[in-house]
Amino acid sequence: MKRLPRPACGLLCAVAFAPWLKAQSKPSKKPRPHHQPKQTIIVTGVYRPIPLHEADRSIDVIDVKSQALLTNALVDLMRQDSSVDLQERGPDGTQADVSIRGGTFEQTLILLDGWRMNDVQSGHHDMDLPIALQAVSSIQILHGSGTTLYGSDAVGGVVNFVTATPRETELNLQGAVGNFGINQQAGTFSFAEPNFGEELDFSRDFSTGFMPDRDYRNLALDSITEAHTSLGATQILLAHNDRPFGANQFYGNFNSWEHTRTWFAGVRQDLGRHNEISFAFRRHTDFFVLYRNRPSFYANHHADRSYQLTWRNWRRLSSNTRLYLGLAGYRESIRSNNLGVHLRNRAAGYAALDVRPWRRFTFTVGAREETYGTLHGEFCPSLSGGYWINAHWQWRAAVERAFRLPTFTDLYYHDPANVGNPNLKPERAWNYETGFDWYPSGRLAAHLTLFERQERDGIDYARTPGSSVWQAMNVDNVTFRGVELAVGKHFRRSQQLQWSYTGLKGSRAPLQILQSRYLFNYLVNSTEWTWLGALPGGLIGRSRFGILERIHQRPYVLWGADIARARGRLRPFVRVSNLTNTFYEEVAGVPMPGRTIVVGMQIQVFRRKSQMRSN
């Protein structure tokens, strides 16, 4: 496939198309295909909120609220998507790397209500989310590049954790215990009035570990505030987490220990109907000890800060055409005894034209220019579109250029077994995809997507056979191709069944005899079945069954089952993960726990009907 030419700017496209758009501005009399009795609204990978079935990209939405009593951690819910590869070094999100469609964990952009959470020190800390599970309403996952809208890091995909707007005044408390010394507590207090809402959440998850030096403690605190004034909606998010954990075998044959902390503050303000401005600050610290019993032998202290300021604007050019504009600025810094002291500034601007003529055909063309360093820049165009063949079938396709700047660990880290490279180039990639969506009824949907990612200057740690030192380097001309299949069925009596499969193949010819640490540790085949539904007596249940095959490894099975009472003041629950007691490693050399059982109770202390209005 030939590479796209470099257009001057998305604004020129708007000017060129203006006469045609005006001619098409009259609304079509053909009704838009309608399939779902309850629409799911997405905000991820699109320039404005739209119903999920109108998207021309492969996007998965996981409802968190309906499964909150059935899961121990947010990462557990993400396993329902077969295109998401979780490479955990500890259970319940102690340390989790997320890859999508075979991309490395640093090629996945993590968002919290649209704010960037990727860590400039290392992608291993991207999932240090400073927020409690009960604060999240949904997880929206974009498969494929999202660089034109979000900038660096969105190469393989984007995961956006969307918080819930306070709708009710209530107080809930819960506690649980389990094997491996598991002890959990959580609570939520929310207050809602017509123009103001506030929610306070806390969660604590403690374990003595399923093996020596694999203990952990996860603490999260957050405050979500929303207000409506004549100016528009205001959102304020304050959050903090604290995670000390035993890191036995995490980075080699050492009984290590690590302690990370995250502080986050974000504010978003609507300025009338067509403008939005937001600002966020994130601070992350990482204290690592190579030998837990000899902390003075080797220790690293890292502290990084990031600031992000964005402005978004949209305007209607006709009844079916919108123009989107945006500016963004980023400032990232680190102070470390190993990496040194570094500072990086970035600025970006984008424009996108979204056209929906005849109410059956859609296309979006966009472009982003992002600058960094001294006159260095990356230009990332994108084009996507879809066509409703009839009321049940939609065809869609997309192409987009993506890039990722190396982290400070990629550039400057050094120890006896790992060496960074200050001369690394940014990763660059072209993403292509096409697929069909089938909606035969309001209760059944099926999706097929074919995709390809062509990478240049991919960043990996590699070594020659027999060497003990991993060296950061750029790897050229790496290609990943794959297929995604998904079928979802809603039955009567609130029963739903979902099946998904992702098959992937990568070309490792550029590495030749070198051993790869990150690029070629992907899932070749991933199959997931998830059942979720209501049971007699006010109970709800969930069962997730997955078969995963990692490259050069044998397939393994992960099966979990959960049940809870969903109504009343007392809501007991039982969660069982790894029912088959499977031995498995998502990161080579780091075993994961066997069968885990957690039993607990949620108490609804009080609840008053909400008066908080929606946006």
Q: Which has more confidence, 477 or 347?
A: 347
92 phi-psi bin (left φ>0, alpha ψ -120 to 50, beta other): left
Q: What's residue 612's pLDDT?
A: 59
Pairing verdict, β 444-456 and 427-441: antiparallel
Domain residue ranges in the chain: 45-608
| Verdict on whether the full-model pTM lies above 0.85 | yes
3-state SS assignment for residue 133: helix
What stretch of H or E contains 19?
helix 10-23
Task: Calculate mean pLDDT across residues 208-217.
Answer: 95
Q: What's residue 178's pLDDT?
A: 97
Out of 263-267, 484-488, 544-548, 609-613, least confident range: 609-613
Phi, psi of 55, deg, nearest 5: -75, 145
Phi, psi of 587, deg, nearest 5: -120, 125
What is the C-alpha to C-alpha distance for residues 53 and 71, in angstroms, rounded to an integer? 27
What is the C-alpha to C-alpha distance for residues 214 and 207, in angstroms, rounded to an integer? 8
pLDDT confidence band for 92 (50 / 70 / 90): confident
pLDDT in tens, 93-131: 889 999 999 999 999 999 999 999 999 999 999 999 999
The answer to whether 156 touches 453, Cβ cutoff 8 Å, is yes
Q: Which has more confidence, 116 or 441?
A: 116
Give CA separation, 184 vs 6, 36, 394, in Å.
53, 37, 45
How does the average pLDDT of the chain come out, rounded? 90
Q: What's residue 13's pLDDT?
A: 37
pLDDT in tens, 243-257: 999 999 998 889 999
Position 315, amino acid: R
For 473-484, b/e burial (b = at least 16 CB within 10 A) is bbbeebbbbbeb
Give CA separation, 398 vs 57, 451, 473, 607, in Å.
7, 9, 30, 46
Q: Is the pLDDT of residue 515 over 90?
A: no
pLDDT in tens, 128-164: 999 999 999 999 999 999 999 999 999 999 999 999 8
Q: Which CATH architecture has domain 45-608?
A: Beta Barrel (2.40)
- Percent of the chain whose predicted confidence (pLDDT) is above 90: 77
- Polymer length of the chain: 615
* Bridge partners for 262 per DSSP: 241, 284
H helices within 110-200, ranges in order? 147-150
Residues ≥6 apart with Cβ < 8 Å to 142: 44, 45, 57, 58, 59, 154, 157, 158, 159, 160
